[in-house]
Amino acid sequence: MGEAYIVAATRTAGGRKGGRLSGIHPADLGGRVLDEIIDRTGCDPALVDDVVMGCVMQVGEQATNIARDAILASKLPESVPGTSVDRQCGSSQQALHFAAQAVMSGAMDIVIASGVESMSRVPMGLSVALPAQNGFGTPTSPNMAKRYPNIQFSQFMGAEMMASKYDLSKEELDEYGFRSQQRAIAATQGGKFKDEICAVEITTADGKTELHTIDEGIRFDVSLDGIKGVKLLREGGALTAATSSQICDGASAVMVVNEAGLKQLGLTPMARIHHMTVVGGDPVIMLEAPLPGTEKALKKAGMSIDDIDLYEVNEAFASVPAAWLKTIGADPDKINVNGGAIALGHPLGSSGTKLMTTLVHALKDRNKKWGLQTMCEGGGLANVTIVERL
């Protein structure tokens, strides 16, 4: 089996709901990161064998294969194919796995794994709500309803169930949310995101043209007391908006190649994809799968958590990484070292390659070797990826 190497990785700075990126069509936003990957590698665009793009709400402006539309909105030629992937929040992490599997098999040599989500223009839940409102049914089938009677699958309830099951107090989760913001502030002010962010040209409300380069969701005036004062999402619960991921617009992309691709491009790889795992778990608690997924991945890779230098664990809700840390026995100083989705935003289908972009750049910045990324996903799924910085 061949190897899969990451030779370039980039992401847009996140945009808040209705914010600085909301005026950009998602196909154009996805096309922007594809162009950036080509610019960073100097790759002849015609050499790209495929584009695999994660996207969750594949409806409206993100319908009819957003990967292909992003290609047509980019500098890539029409000869480059593209396909869209939905593994819920892990969509572009799965896109990365598919890209790696393609080049490792030798079926392809150069693949771009990517993701896009404009949560301003295609709101979360629209792909379910819009058909239901127009008489076209819901995803829950009669057989599913028999297997899970009287269950309304909900990530919000799953997050509260995680907090309860793993004995996580509101105070503990508030402190986690505060730390995410603090780390994102420090990373931004310290220039840690400079090399990974793809500048996006935007037009402001007053008609001026600017480059969007700073994650819009960061609360630069954050205080722990302020976080503690945010209203609970559910009476008697432990989570608030300040300990949940932010709605976000964004796109990201990673170029993955094998040995033949390296020779074609004449590039030095940033990292090697060492291991890939995907697991299924309880779809009711829904967000727990990164825990057994990480244990399985480490076992299959012949590693322990102590071998890993940095971890990116998506902060869908603070209860997920907090439970992950407690169960895996991981070092809290190594997790989401530049902040996570609580501060930076969670652009659904873009988050997988977004986190990988941050992970490989953080490994380089800190001169570390091993990184692990995992993501909780709707339906009780989780992807886990282990990379080695080269």
Of the chain, the end-to-end C-alpha distance in Å amounts to: 19
Backbone angles phi, psi at 343, to 5 degrees: -100, -40
Among the listed residues 97, 212, 346, 361, the single catalytic one is 346
Q: What pairs with residue 242 in β-bridges?
A: none
**Gap between the Cα atoms of 112 and 106, Å rounded:** 15
3-state secondary structure of 208: coil
Query: Parallel, antiparallel, or unpaired for β 381-389 and 271-280?
Result: antiparallel
Rounded distance between C-alpha atoms, residue 332 and residue 135, angstroms: 47
Longest dimension (CA), the chain: 58
In the residue annotation, 248 being an active-site residue is answered as no
Instruction: Count CB-CB contacts under 10 A for residue 223.
Output: 11
Question: CA-CA-CA-CA torsion for 73, 249, 323, 383, nearest 10 degrees?
Answer: -10
Q: Which of 89, 212, 248, 361 is catalytic?
A: 89
- Asked whether 346 and 17 are in contact (CB, 8 A), the reply is no
- Which is nearest to 234 in space by CA: 314, 319, 313? 319
Catalytic residue among 55, 198, 248, 376: 376
H helix or E strand, kind and range, residue 91:
helix 91-105
Tell me how far CA of residue 270 lies from CA of 50, 108, 301, 317, in angstroms: 20, 19, 20, 30
Scan for tokens 């886990």, then name that residue: 384
Active site residues: 89, 346, 376
